[in-house]
A and B are shown apart, each in its own frame.
Chain A
Amino acid sequence: MAAPLCVQLEFGGGAELLFDGVRKHQVTLPIQPGPWDIRCLLVWIKENLLKERLELFMQGDSVRPGILVLINEADWELMGELDYQLQDQDNVVFISTLHGG
């Protein structure tokens, strides 16, 4: 049984446009039976934060290719990607590379 987690989510590079233009979100994730990994976080974001055009943010159960994810300022590819287990006070940044040049 995991305790509620407070994490900071940040959207940039154009991804914030899918979240009413709001870049920073301080969120509390509710208690759930299993651990909070990024896979669960994405489902939570989809159900609670995302305002429009799901297909521009997600593909399958992951982020759409071309959206970079940083967990505590490090590339999620170094952190286990979807399997990373969130800790209290973690910072997760989503940056779209898909916008303009």
Chain B
Amino acid sequence: MPAPVLCQSCGAGRAALRRPKTGRALCRACFVAAFEAEVHGTIVSARLFQPGETVAVGASGGKDSTVLAHLLRLLNERHGYGLRLLLLSIDEGIAGYRDDSLEAVRRNRGRLGLPLHVLSYQELYGWSMDRIARHVGPKNNCTFCGVFRRQALDRGAALLGADKIATGHNADDVAETVLMNFLRGDVGRLRRCAGILTGGEGTLPRCKPLKHAYEKEIVLYAYFQGLDYFSTECVYAPNAYRGHTRTLLKDLEAVRPSAVADLVHSGERLAVREDVRMPTQGICQRCGYLSSQPLCKACVLLEGLNRGLPRLGIGKPSRLQKALTGAEKPEAGFQEDSEQSSNAVRTIDF
């Protein structure tokens, strides 16, 4: 039996993991302390929060958002950030997946002592993901879900009076997105996607405090701290392009663990040539959400669903946009009257 490896930080404890970023072997206690200190360091150096802010933590019940909520509560107390934290969950309406994961969020809500608000696609858009999937078929479900979720988090956080949204995106997620945007030639997103604090101008600022945290460390942190999270694969995910990108990244990481951090770094440092035309951000004519087209993607997808043409918003948008906006009246479509939608958010009490 090989002799146990000793912690390279304290020199006393038995090492519990090799850190992918540095290759150092640390014991459980030193790893937990280092991991927490690094996330705090990220928050401070990127100036993610200001004292007195209300921060809505996007909570899915999965590993990343569970660790994020736990850490923000802990660091907020430890370092006196002065934040008001609340959990915001989006219920996409996916039976056997989101209903179960929301149970995990509810359990954690008790443990964290933070208020929880749940907002559903059904309430916001009149469509659950299960019903969308029945109309759309096996492909492109993640397109609908991703576009809708992004807006749903924004609308939910705005209704709750939050100043900022924090999401659980980790280094692997960011690296994947950089790679995916590169593979798709999506220069506009490629330039934005590695930012740690995005948004503003019409949408709430969003931040990713776990941006530099490796998935491996997040999972081991949750394991060592005994955090309860939900981990079923989404029933619609196997068909997503992201899945292939993810597999590619995991294979690269196995050969060279720094690949994840390197891709994040590339995403941060990439400069786009000045003569490359970038999409100009405007406002959706129908719902007022940020959009580079006359109609935002969510409104186009929703229009397709409601007209019985679910593939309407899939693919290149230009011709379609013209057809849809031709007869547009400003008051038609999504109502964003805050009084009307305030019943859409409910606080869960126990």
| A residues neighboring B (CB under 8 Å) | 12-14, 17, 64-66, 68, 70, 73-75, 77-80, 84-85, 87, 93, 95-101
B1 touches A87 (CB 8 A): yes
Residues in B neighbouring A73, C-beta threshold 8 A: 16, 28
B232 touches A65 (CB 8 A): no
Residues in A neighbouring B5, C-beta threshold 8 A: 74, 78
Minimum CB–CB distance from B219 to chain A (whole Å) comes to 5
C-alpha spacing A80/B5, complex, angstroms: 11
Return the chain B residue nearest A16 by Cβ.
B231
Residues in B neighbouring A13, C-beta threshold 8 A: 63, 219, 231
Partner of A74, one of B4, B101, B216, B254: B4
C-alpha spacing A13/B232, complex, angstroms: 8
Besides the known contacts A65-B254, A80-B2, A97-B219, 5 further A-B residue pairs in the complex with CB atoms under 8 A apart = A75-B17, A78-B18, A79-B2, A97-B172, A101-B60
Q: Is B99 interfacial (CB-CB < 8 Å)?
A: no
Range for the number of chain B residues in contact with chain A: 35 or more
Q: Is B253 interfacial (CB-CB < 8 Å)?
A: yes
Q: Is B265 interfacial (CB-CB < 8 Å)?
A: no
Residues in A neighbouring B101, C-beta threshold 8 A: 100
Return the chain A residue nearest B219 by Cβ.
A97
| B residues neighboring A (CB under 8 Å) | 1-2, 4-5, 14-18, 25, 28, 60-65, 101, 168-170, 172-173, 215-216, 218-220, 223, 230-234, 246, 250-251, 253-254
Task: In the A-B complex, list the 4 residue pairs whose CB atoms are closest, starting with the nearest.
Answer: A14-B231, A100-B62, A75-B17, A65-B250
Q: Identify the interface centre among A70, A74, A101: most chain B CB within 10 Å of its CB.
A: A101
A17 touches B233 (CB 8 A): yes
Partner of A100, one of B170, B216, B218, B234: B234
Residues in B neighbouring A17, C-beta threshold 8 A: 232-233
A66 touches B250 (CB 8 A): yes
B18 touches A75 (CB 8 A): yes
Residues in A neighbouring B65, C-beta threshold 8 A: 101
The DSSP consensus for interface residues of chain A is loop
Minimum CB–CB distance from A60 to chain B (whole Å) comes to 11
B62 touches A99 (CB 8 A): yes
Q: Identify the interface centre among A77, A80, A96: most chain B CB within 10 Å of its CB.
A: A77
Minimum CB–CB distance from A93 to chain B (whole Å) comes to 8
C-alpha spacing A93/B224, complex, angstroms: 12
A74 touches B253 (CB 8 A): no
Residues in B neighbouring A96, C-beta threshold 8 A: 231
Q: Identify the interface centre among B15, B101, B170: most chain A CB within 10 Å of its CB.
A: B15
B233 touches A78 (CB 8 A): no
Q: Identify the interface centre among A84, A96, A98: most chain B CB within 10 Å of its CB.
A: A98
Residues in A neighbouring B218, C-beta threshold 8 A: 97
Minimum CB–CB distance from A51 to chain B (whole Å) comes to 15
B15 touches A78 (CB 8 A): yes
